[in-house]
């Protein structure tokens, strides 16, 4: 399997690959056999149709799966050989079978940027002062966490105080008439 990388600037590379025809034939055989196992053709029990009939009947599907398998294999081989660190799924620019049954492909891949970190030994980090946490701070934080989980329930009649949620019924009037009578759509 031939693999070459072309720098496209930044972290992007163009990965060109060529898979030899003997490997393409072996992979096609495996794909066709997997289709044969589940093929349902008239006149044959499921999984027992002749391989050539399965190849003719499912040719586009076999071809599609073969391309996917070869692309996956080519990418895996390139990642191992070139020690690539991909950050995203590659995009296929080209994937074709040649006349001699070689499979050629071109993928656009994004790699993790390469950089060297400076030595951490001897680095001076300024200390920041932190205010001590008081019991009041803890109570305030716990109340803030508990508030969204609170359940509302009716209390015995008493005056409302800070922190209460109140449901209020009222009737508005204007010039002695109820507001609903003045603007009938307001109440609907």
pLDDT for 135-159, tens place per residue? 999 999 999 999 888 888 888 888 8
- What residues does 103 pair with on adjacent strands? 19, 97
Question: What's the total number of domains in the chain?
Answer: 1
Structural domain contains residue 17: yes
Q: Categorize the per-residue pLDDT at 168 as very low, low, confident or very high, splitting at 50, 70 and 90.
A: confident
The pLDDT > 90 percentage for the chain reads 59
62, part of any domain = yes
CATH number at residue 13: 3.30.70.1050
The tens digit of pLDDT for each residue in 55-76 reads 999 999 999 999 999 999 999 9
Dist CA 6 CA 89 (whole Å) = 17
160 belongs to a structural domain: no
Structural domain of 64: 2-110
How far is Cα of residue 63 from the mean position of the Cα atoms in its chain?
27
For residues 123 and 108, the model is more confident at 108
Phi, psi of 67 (to 5 degrees): -60, -45
12 pLDDT more than 80? yes
| Contact present, 4 and 16 (Cβ < 8 Å) | yes
Please indicate, yes or no, if residue 172 is contained in any of the structural domains.
no
Each residue's pLDDT tens digit, 29-41: 999 999 999 998 9
Is 26 part of a structural domain of the chain? Answer: yes
Provide mean pLDDT across the span 120-134.
89
Residues 6+ apart with CB under 8 A from 152: 165
Q: What is the C-alpha separation between 4 and 137, in angstroms, rounded?
A: 61
**Could you tell me what percentage of the chain is helix, strand and coil, using 3-state DSSP and rounding each to the nearest 5?**
40, 20, 45
pTM: 0.61
Domain presence at residue 24: yes
Residue 161 in domain: no
Task: Give kind and range of the element (H or E) at residue 91.
Answer: strand 91-97
Any idea which of 17-21, 144-148, 184-188 has the lowest mean pLDDT? 184-188
> Is 187's pLDDT higher than 50?
no
């Amino acid at each position: 399997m031939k693999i070459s990388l072309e720098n496209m600037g930044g972290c992007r590379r163009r990965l060109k690959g060529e898979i030899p025809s003997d490997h393409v034939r072996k992979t096609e055989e495996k794909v066709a056999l997997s289709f044969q196992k589940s093929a349902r053709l008239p006149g044959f029990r499921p999984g027992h149709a002749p391989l050539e009939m399965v190849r003719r009947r499912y040719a586009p599907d076999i071809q599609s799966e073969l391309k996917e398998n070869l692309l996956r294999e080519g990418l895996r081989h390139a990642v191992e050989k070139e020690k690539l660190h991909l950050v995203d799924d590659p995009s296929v620019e080209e994937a074709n079978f040649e006349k001699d049954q070689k499979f050629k492909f071109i993928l656009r891949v994004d790699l993790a940027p390469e950089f060297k970190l400076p030595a951490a030994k001897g680095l001076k980090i300024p200390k920041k002062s932190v205010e001590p946490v008081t019991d009041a701070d803890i109570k305030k934080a716990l109340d803030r966490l508990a508030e969204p989980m609170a359940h509302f329930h009716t209390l015995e009649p008493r005056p409302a105080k800070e922190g209460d949620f109140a449901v209020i019924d009222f009737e508005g009037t204007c010039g002695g008439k109820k507001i609903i009578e003045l603007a009938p759509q307001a109440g609907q």
